Structure 1
Amino acid sequence: MKNILVLCTGNSCRSQMAHGYLNTFSQGKAKIYSAGIETHGLNPGAVSIMKEDHIDISNHTSNHVDEYENIDFDYIITVCDHANENCPYIPSKNAVRLHHNFFDPSKVVGSDSEIHNAFLKARNEIRSYFQAFVNEKL
């Protein structure tokens, strides 16, 4: 079984959505972890937009990357430029490191509709990327 870490700045939004999709798409072929270089708690907008796609991430926790220092990862995937540029050393022997900077919906200010559309855009980008990842790598 593969160990996959999804890493973001605060482990509250994009990495949590990716975690939810990887859990669903991998169908037990991988153990999924998500973490941040900081912890910001679970973003309610991320929970809500994932629920619209029938994936419940409400029980996820916001974890710091140091919590996983003893896990040997097969893949470490950063989902924002800040985490990619500031990621601490993660001692995994043969981890393949991948990076894709996803749009951050938590930074959008506007009407409820504009905020919802921002989360929808990010979620759909994340879903497409991680579906392709699972199809190619697992």
Structure 2
Amino acid sequence: MKVIFICPGGNSCRSLIAKTVLLAISEEIEVFSYGMEKMQCSDQFIFDLMEEYGYKIETTDTSQLDDHNDVVFDYLITIYDMNKEKLSPLPFKYIHKLHLDFAAPNSMSEHYLTKVNLYKHLIEEIKVELEYFYYHMLRSDSVV
């Protein structure tokens, strides 16, 4: 089982957070993170928050297209805010495509919540969605 998470530019670490969370749910899945623009997740507080939730982000880089030219993914999952971000056509081979609508915390108003609380909310949302994806979609289909 191969899953790739894709974010447009301005990734804000969403695909890396999703990759880390899904790997924590099941180590049987090969999980990849891809940013449409080369980016590193470099805010230390994000790593600290993930550790508070019991997760450890293993890499700060999202993959690049050349890394996946010949791979056929079972699931391609896009993660972005459909109201504010645009995603270019995807050059990947995949069997199923899903979308998770998560706003980039760094694009939200700082008056709504602190940056840390915005990321806490994002981590919790991603965790809930991926637990549902794994236990109700993958496991129920006996795909994994």
Q: TM (normalized to structure 1)?
A: 0.83
The residue aligned with 1:13 is 13
Paired AA for residue 51 in structure 1: E
Percent sequence identity over aligned pairs: 23
| Larger helix share, 1 or 2 | 1
The residue aligned with 1:67 is 67
Paired AA for residue 41 in structure 1: Q
The residue aligned with 2:142 is none
The residue aligned with 1:39 is 38
Deviations, residues 102-130 of structure 1 (Å, cap 9, x unaligned)? 1211224648x711111011111111000
Quote how far apart the aligned CAs of 1:63 are: 1.8
The residue aligned with 1:91 is 93
> Matched residue pairs, number?
132
Return 5+ residue gaps in structure 2 as ranges: 140-144
Contact 1:12–1:62, Cα closer than 8 Å, also in 2: no
TM superposition outliers: structure 1 runs of 4+ over 4 Å: none
Paired AA for residue 90 in structure 2: P
Contact 1:109–1:115, Cα closer than 8 Å, also in 2: no
Q: CA RMSD in A?
A: 2.1
Quote how far apart the aligned CAs of 1:9 are: 1.6
Return 5+ residue gaps in structure 1 as ranges: none
Q: TM (normalized to structure 2)?
A: 0.80
